[in-house]
Every structure is written in structure tokens, then in C-alpha cells.
Amino acid sequence: MTVSTNHRGYRVVVTGIGALTPLGLDMATTWQNLVAGRSGIDYITLFDASNLEVRIAGEVKGFDPANYIDRKNVRRMDRFAQLAVAAAYQAVQNARLRIDSTNQEDIGVFIGSGIGGLTTLFEQTRVLLEKGPDRVSPFLVPMMIADIAAAQVSIALGLKGPNLCVTSACSSGSDAIGAAYEYIKHGHAQVMLAGGAEAVINPIGVAAFAALKALSTRNDSPQQASRPFDRDRDGFILAEGATVLVLERMEHALSRGATIIGEIIGYGATGDAFHITQPLETGEGAAKAMTLAMRDAGIRPEEVDYINAHGTSTPLNDAMETKAIKTAFGEHAYRVPVSSTKSMTGHLIGCAGALEPAICLMTIQHGIIPPTINYENPDPECDLDYVPNVARPAKVNTALTNSFGFGGHNSVLILRRFTEEKP
């Protein structure tokens, strides 16, 4: 396969989106609830959380994996992989992408997950302790390992192109999309399914994040608990879900008459080299990632119309991200709308960086910026335009989305309204 003589490479477009989130079982429902400012956070129902410090989360309600996977295989897949396969089926259907023997070797899968099959690991550890090693499931390893979501998507859809998992904590989904974008851009694939999946709402997952003092303990008001950039924020809300995008080389999408949702034009990634959980307070690494993404896109800060923030609702992250945006955008930081949709979805960990680019595409397509809900008390350290509480009509041509992960991972994607003529 030859690479484009244009040093910037092939153009990469998005033709399909699949999503299962705390706000809906598809992207359309998720988007409707985002625009309405509804919260998907509620009391945990997946297990009895009454003895835990944190009893609230963002669950994917009403998900039946048997709608996408035969029941025998459902029992052999952790929930995060089930969600990934469902999102992949949705994305392919949304893209109207036909997969058969003529093209299956040209379609790859990059699915990120920060943690993988933690629920299966927890359940089988309990089996080991209560019933002994002979009762441990032979499917433990292939249900637990983080790469299995990408593998199961490949198997379910018959995709024989490049297949891998990206694990970079809360940046995993963003990095998976970024890697797929680079793969197509440099001529290594025609089509990629890329995204993220996570399902860690189980006793050990909730207890572990709570032990880090990373989670909100606002158990008495679940829907008000996630409050990014608000002075009274006290931690993020653990959530689950999966989002998969269909990425294509522009020429390939046009040749098959696909509807193009938007274009990915930039990707930047850095490492803080600072701490295992805390972000670098100055935001230097995050700012550099934004600058690299804008350089890759060939745009100036003034051309960005909307920033979908990482915006976790933790004291350290939100203050750091505000500083980073100011560093990367200068005076434009005070003019560009910034919102955190985690105020409604909670933090989907490895899926967050996949869902939020999808939200940016919907923002561009529909001309509405989703709000940051629960923004009631301004924080002097966080003094940007966070689109408080109510969605805002706006023409958005170019959107930037941030993802920052434990370990100092910083990943940024830039998406643009598609026009066949290159801007």
C-alpha cells in the first residue's frame, strides 16, 4: 500500500458512532440527554454497595448483551467486552459499512481499556478463596485481559486488519482513536474501528478508587455529585460504557457513498513524568499535548470553537486543566466555551476518551454545546467559560477534546466539520 505524497498524509473521517453510556443505549439517546442537561448518575444497582463509602455510579441501564451476542458467548465475556462488541455493531450499522471477504483484511480494531475485566477477576478470586483453585473458570484469563475487547470485536465482525488494545488509564479511548487516526493517515489501513470500553462498577473497583480519595462521597445527592470546575467539587463519579467510532480514509468513505459525520485533524500526546495519580499542577504536559494536537491539525488556537474538557470534578484535575488551557490558548482561553460532559455521564475511565470525541462530533453536527451541569459556585482557580448548566446553541466547526490519565498520560484529539475541499 502506498502512502500519500502529501506530507500530512491521508485525511481521516468518521462515518459511524456506536455508544452505550449511563445516558443511553445508543449515541442518539445519549446526545438527547446531554443537551437536556440530565445526569446519568444514580445509586449502584449492579451489586449491593450498602457497606461501601461510595454508593453511587454511572451505570449502563437496561443493557442486554443477548441483543448483540449469542448467549453462550455472553457467558464467556466480561461486561466491558460485551459493551465493546455492542458499540462496534452499532458503529458499523451507523456507518452502513458492509464487511465481507473482499474487505475484512483492510479493517482493523483498536479498542482501549484502562483496566479490562475487573469484574471477572473479582468474581473468580472469590471462587478461588471460597471453593478452591479447581473451581476457577478456564475463561478467567481470556475474560480478564484488557485486549480482549478488541479481540472479541474482531472475532464478532470478522475483521482481520491490525488489532490491538491501548491501555493508558483514562486516556485509553482517546489514544486508541489517535493511534487509529495515525494508522490511516500514514497509509497502513483503509478503515479502523476505534474506541474504548470499561466496566469496573463492582465491589473492588469502587472500593479501590474510593481508597485513593478520588471519588465523590456525595451519596445523598447522586445527580448533583459530579460538579466539574465548581468550588465544592469533591471527586469524580465512577461510570461504565463503550464507544466505538468507524474511521475511514476520506477517499474510501466517499467512494462507497458514506455519510461523513466529521473529520479527525489532530492528535497530540505527552507524559507528565511526575506522579502515579496526581496531575502535574502547572498543567505543562497537558498544555503541550494540546499544542501538539493543534500543530498536527495545522490550526491556531483561535480556530478552536469548543473544548470538551477532561473535567473530572476532582480538585486537582480541574484546576490543572484550567491552567493548561490558558497556557495553550492564551487570551483565546477566555473566549472559547469549555464544558465537561462528565458532569452528566460520570467518568467512564478507558471509555471517556472515546465517548467525548463522539460528543464533539455531535456538537459540530447539531450546533449545540452540551453544558457543565451542577456548576453553582465559581472557583477562583477555575475562571473560564464552562457553559454552566444549560446547553448553548453555537456554530462549532472545530472542537478539541482532552483526556488525562493516572500515570501522567495526556491525550488530545481535534475534530472538524467535514468539507470535501480541504480548508
Give the residue among 409, 330, 339 at the shortest CA–CA distance from 374: 339
Active site residue 252: no
Active site residue 165: no
**Contact assessment for residue 24 and residue 243, using Cβ atoms and an 8 Å cutoff:** no
Rounded-to-integer distance, Cα 372 and Cα 12, Å: 29
Phi, psi of 56 (to 5 degrees): -125, 150
Angle, CA of 385, 37 and 214, to the nearest 5°: 75
Give the residue among 277, 291, 370 at the shortest CA–CA distance from 324: 291
Active site residue 347: yes
Give the residue among 169, 150, 171 at the shortest CA–CA distance from 159: 150
**Contact assessment for residue 46 and residue 87, using Cβ atoms and an 8 Å cutoff:** no
Phi, psi of 77 (to 5 degrees): -130, 135
Give the residue among 381, 355, 360, 383 at the shortest CA–CA distance from 370: 360
Strand (E) or helix (H) holding 399 = strand 398-405
Instruction: Pick left, alpha or beta for residue 346 (phi over 0 → left; psi -120 to 50 → alpha; otherwise beta).
Output: left
Of 165, 347, 351, 360, catalytic: 347
Of 170, 351, 360, 382, catalytic: 170
Report the greatest alpha carbon distance in the chain: 64
Rounded-to-integer distance, Cα 408 and Cα 233, Å: 21
Residues 6+ apart with CB under 8 A from 213: 235
Alpha-carbon torsion (18, 23, 25, 29), positive or negative:
negative
DSSP for 126-142, please give it: HHHHHH-GGGS-TTHHH
Of 165, 252, 310, 351, catalytic: 310
**Contact assessment for residue 301 and residue 293, using Cβ atoms and an 8 Å cutoff:** no
**Contact assessment for residue 73 and residue 253, using Cβ atoms and an 8 Å cutoff:** no
Parallel, antiparallel, or unpaired for β 306-308 and 398-405?
parallel
CA 111 to mean position of chain CA atoms: 10
**Contact assessment for residue 308 and residue 401, using Cβ atoms and an 8 Å cutoff:** yes
**Contact assessment for residue 14 and residue 262, using Cβ atoms and an 8 Å cutoff:** yes
Catalytic residues, which ones?
Answer: 170, 310, 347
